[in-house]
Amino acid sequence: MPKNIGFVSTRFAGTDGVSLESAKWADVLWRDRHVSHWYSGLSDRDTGISMCIPEAHFNHPENVWINQRIWNRTGRDRNVTERIRELAEYLKSTLYQFVCRFGIEVLVPENALTIPMHIPLGIAITEFLAETRMPAIAHHHDFYWERTRFSINAVNDYLDKAFPARLPNIVHTVINRAAQEQLSLRKGVGSYLIPNVFDFDNPAPEPDAYSADVRQEIGLAPDDIFILQPTRIVPRKGIEHAIKLVGMLKNPRCKLVISHDAGDEGFEYKHMLQELAREENVDIRFISDRIGEVRQRDAQDRKIYTLWDLYPHADLVTYPSTYEGFGNALLEAFYFKKPVVINRYSIFIQDIEPKGFRLAQIDGFITKSTVNMVQHCLDDPEYRAQMVDHNFNIARTFYSYGVVNRTLRTILNQLTGWTPDCLS
C-alpha cells in the first residue's frame, strides 16, 4: 500500500550528495505511489509538501554556538548541555508537527543520524523514534568516525546515543561496504547496502539551444580538448593529479576546466593548484562563477550553466580523488558516456572496480601507461565509444534506480504499519 514518507535532514537544497540522493529515492518511491514529504532547516522542495525549520539547519546560529563548544575539546559546560537539550526538545516538537501535518508513516533520516553536524537534531530524531516506535529507514552517507575533525569531542555520550541510534524500529542503509562493516563493528547493527545511483534507463540530456555555446562561453576554441574536473576544490579531490596528467600529455590544446570553487574550506589549496599549473605549463580554467544549481543569468547578463550542461561538451573527465564516500561524479561521467581518469580510492577499489569498468587509472601517482591510455582515448573515437558504452552498460546493471527500488521494497515490506497519534 502507498505510504507517506517523511525525509528528514539539516538541508535539502543544492547539489550536495544528501540532497541529490534523497531526491532520487523520492523518485523511486513515487513509482510505487509512495508520497514523499520533506523536513529540513534549508529547503528547495515544494512548500506544499515540506516543512522548513530554520533551527534544524547546521548553520543556524544556535547550532553554530553549540558546535564551537563541543569539538576539539574533551569536556563541556553545563550550559552547553542545557542548550543542546532545549534545542533538541524544540526540534522534537516540530517533528511531531511534521508527522501529523502530512500523515507520515515512515521516517527517512538522511545523514542526520550519521554525521554529527547537528547534535540536537540527531537527539530529537532518536527520541522521537523511541517515543513513537515509528518505522524508519536511516540513510547513512558518511559517519563521524570517517572524519578526523570529529575525533576529539565533548559529546561522546550523544554520539553513542544518536549517531546512529540503535532502535528496533530503525532499518539502516549505507552507501558502501566499508561503512557497512564499520557500522556492524562499532554499533552492532546490520544494514542494507544501497549505493548511489542514476536513472540509467533514461538517456542523458543532449545540449539544447541554451547550452550549445558552453565551450565558447568558457573560452575554449573549437579544436581545444575539454578536460573536465567536475568537483569542488578541496584537497581530497586530488586535483594536482589532473594537472600533472594534462602536463604530461604535452598538448597545448588540452584545457583543464574545474567546475566548482573552494567554498568554505579555504583557498590555500586552490592557490597551490594555480602555482602547480604554471609550473607544469597547464592551461587551467576555474569557471565556478559560470556554474549554478539552475540555469539563470548573472548581474552581467552572462549565462549561468548547470554541471549537466558541461558534461556533453567534455572530451574527458578527471576524477583523481584520494577519498570518496562513493562517487557521484563518477556515475555522472558514466551516465553521459565520457571516458574517465580515476585515482583508485579505497571505496572504488572495494565496491566499484570489481564490476569491470574500463578506466584510465591512477594508483596514487601518474604513470606513462596512464598517459598513453588517455592519449588513446582522445585519438581513437572507436576505442573511446566502445569504452564508454561498456561502462554505461555496467553502471546500468549495478547503479540504476532498479537497485534502490528492489531494496526499498524489501525494507518497506518488513516494516509494520504505524498510525500517527497527534494527541498532545
Q: What is the pLDDT of residues 20-54, one digit of tens each?
A: 999 999 999 999 999 999 999 999 999 999 999 99
CB 75 within 8 A of CB 63: no
Cα atoms in the Cβ-side hemisphere of radius 13 Å centred on 76: 22
Burial of 155 (0-12, 13-18, 19+ CB in 10 A): buried
pLDDT of residue 423: 42
pLDDT of residue 264: 58
pLDDT of residue 344: 95
Taking CA atoms, 35 is separated from 10, 38, 60, 238, 329, in Å, by 20, 10, 29, 40, 28
pLDDT of residue 56: 98
> Who contacts 396 (Cβ-Cβ below 8 Å, separation ≥6)?
200, 201
pLDDT of residue 30: 95
pLDDT of residue 421: 61
340-343 vs 360-362, strand pairing mode: parallel
Instruction: Please give the CATH number for the structural domain made up of 214-399.
Output: 3.40.50.2000
CATH 2.60.120.10 fits 4-197+402-414, yes or no: no
Q: Where in the chain is the domain with CATH 3.40.50.2000?
A: 4-197+402-414, 214-399
53 three-state secondary structure: coil
In this prediction, the residues of the chain whose per-residue pLDDT falls under 50 are 423-424
What one-letter code names the amino acid at 92? K
Q: Which cell is 397 given?
A: 546493471
User: Quick one: which H or E segment has residue 256?
Assistant: strand 254-258
pLDDT of residue 414: 85
Q: What stretches of 7-145 show up as alpha helix (H) in DSSP?
A: 17-30, 61-67, 78-102, 119-132
Taking CA atoms, 269 is separated from 106, 187, 232, 240, 292, in Å, by 42, 36, 11, 10, 22
Nearest Cα to Cα of residue 380 among 321, 339, 333? 339
